[in-house]
Amino acid sequence: MNLSVNANSILDEQLGYAKRVLSLAPTVYGNNPKACVITFGCQQNVSDSERLKGMLYEMGYTIVDETENADFIIFNTCAVREHAEDRVFGNIGTTKKIKKERPNTIIAVCGCMVQQKHIAEKIRKSYPYVDFVLGTHVEHRLPEFIYKRLNGGGRVFELSMEDNTIIEDLPTRRDGKFKGWLPIMYGCNNFCTYCIVPYVRGRERSREPEKIIAEFKQMIKDGYKDITLLGQNVNSYGKGEAHGVNFAKLLRMLNDIEGEFVIRFMTSHPKDCTIELLDTIKECKKVSRHLHLPFQSGSSRILALMNRYYNREKYLELIKNAKERIPDVDLTSDIIVGFPGETYEDFKETLSLVNEVKFASLFTFIYSKRKGTPAAEMPDNISRAEKGKWFSELLLAQEKVAENNIQKFLGKTYRVLCDSHSEKEGYMSGHTNGTAVVEFKADASMLGCFVNIKIESYDNGFIGKII
């Protein structure tokens, strides 16, 4: 089957609906219909929301930040931890009042959370004022759903995941001017036992290299200087595809594009992080000196239960190889504390790994039980309070590591992108090509430019000066 022909006709159909909404919406809402997109979760969701905004813009909506005066409100949700879901329900609840005051307002919920049957059912029963519940594979059909609803159609629950076609060329409204997201693949095949993502995002599928390169070039033309390639496991990009372009090759192709810019990427799964990739990062000067390599646990016993396909020794070997090849690399990681069956002895192995590797920063989470995942069935005898104690211990350990890390930046000069105004009068804030953020005196006209900054001091953040 030729998927791209199929995808083109899907896009054309939706752009047709968008045009019809463009003329229909003002008859319902007056001349300036407004839409609000509220995003939870990871960068993938932020990027998806940029496409939702792109489509809404094509339909004639002005994008607003507040729900208060919006005629269309969509919550793009995350399912990765229970806390994320609780926040979403709290937010949806507040729209009841809006719907009462302005019954024509359309309320939609999309994204990972609603892809779970029990959540969609809960919304169907307990949140009757929600108009659309849209799964992760149908978000591109938003124009069609809005058009039908404006024409008197009923509630929509569209959660099918059967069609894995990647819809290219959807209109996009990016949030940033200099820093942007670029998805290179969707879904996940890894089934880590704690994780809901493969169930709600479906199987891994990669975009064609030509499509990625074309979008990347367009972003550079539009003034983007710092582009992050997105995927749940970018290291397995292109696996099983006839084009033979793996992630390392893709990075080289992007690095060859003319201009000054930084190429970032996330997330890397340690099991697929190859020496070829490390050498590519080392040799490609536009590729950022940052590797986000989640290890989740320092205990090989727990890593096996998590289905991560590496053990403590393999991970440490990978870190050693990365540091040898890319001495200025900033390493960051994700950690889960309190996985079912984890003992304090296991946790101490996580602590010792943190102390040994000396990460630039960490994203730390207490294990959250996700319905339908294998870990949800594993015995979990440690209390939440006990897990909380371990968690605090971990934060304290990382605080000490971070304090020592500061020293390695002082006195050094970095190429920095002036990407935002600082809160300090007359100061700019910028990123190195690793993870450090530095503030320095600079004129507002420097926004979007690269400058050489010498880092001079640290006061709740790095302070430097242009040299």
The footprint of ligand F3S (CB under 6 A) covers: 41-42, 44-45, 78-80, 112, 196-197, 200-201
Question: What token pair was written down for 315?
Answer: 């991970």
Work out whether 350 is an interface residue with ligand SAH (CB under 6 A).
Answer: no
Characterize 141-165 residue by residue with b for buried, 16 or more Cβ atoms within 10 angstroms of its Cβ, and e for exposed.
bbbbbbbebbeeeeebebbebeeee
From the list 70-78, 160-168, 187-195, 251-259, the region that binds ligand SF4 by CB under 6 A is 187-195
User: 47: closest CA among 161, 207, 192?
Assistant: 207
Work out whether 235 is an interface residue with ligand SAH (CB under 6 A).
Answer: no
Characterize 269-300 residue by residue with b for buried, 16 or more Cβ atoms within 10 angstroms of its Cβ, and e for exposed.
bbebbeeebbebbbebebbbbbbbbbbbbbbb
Task: Report, in Å, the least distance between residue 137 CB and ligand SAH.
Answer: 18
User: 395: closest CA among 361, 345, 435, 436?
Assistant: 361
Work out whether 54 is an interface residue with ligand SF4 (CB under 6 A).
Answer: no
From the list 84-92, 122-130, 194-202, 364-372, the region that binds ligand SF4 by CB under 6 A is 194-202
Sign of CA dihedral 148, 37, 58, 29: positive
Residues 158 to 197 in contact with ligand SAH, rule: CB under 6 A = 194-195, 197
For 392, other C-beta atoms within 10 Å of its C-beta total: 11
Task: Report, in Å, the least distance between residue 465 CB and ligand SF4.
Answer: 40
Torsions phi, psi for 164 (to 5 deg): -95, 10
198 binds, among ligand SAH, ligand F3S, ligand SF4, none (CB under 5 to 8 A by kind): ligand SF4
Task: Report, in Å, the least distance between residue 88 CB and ligand SF4.
Answer: 19
Task: Report, in Å, the least distance between residue 398 CB and ligand F3S.
Answer: 21
* Cβ closest to ligand SAH, residue 42 vs residue 455: 42
Residues 300 to 359 in contact with ligand SF4, rule: CB under 6 A = none
Q: Which of 238, 294, 340, 430 binds ligand SAH (CB under 6 A)?
A: 294
370 binds, among ligand F3S, ligand SAH, ligand SF4, none (CB under 5 to 8 A by kind): ligand SAH
Work out whether 56 is an interface residue with ligand SF4 (CB under 6 A).
Answer: no
Largest CA distance in the chain: 65
Give the x-and-dash track for 195-214 against ligand SF4 (CB under 6 A): x-xx----------------
* Cβ closest to ligand SF4, residue 53 vs residue 269: 269
Question: What token pair was written down for 164?
Answer: 């894995």
45 binds, among ligand SF4, ligand SAH, ligand F3S, none (CB under 5 to 8 A by kind): ligand F3S
Q: Which of 149, 370, 387, 431 binds ligand SAH (CB under 6 A)?
A: 370
Residues 211 to 270 in contact with ligand SF4, rule: CB under 6 A = 232-233, 269
Q: Which of 336, 353, 416, 442 binds ligand SAH (CB under 6 A)?
A: 336
CA 27 to CA 447: how far, in whole Å? 41
Task: Report, in Å, the least distance between residue 122 CB and ligand F3S.
Answer: 17
* Interacting residues with ligand SAH (CB under 6 A): 80-81, 194-195, 197, 232-233, 267, 269, 294, 296, 334, 336, 365, 367-368, 370
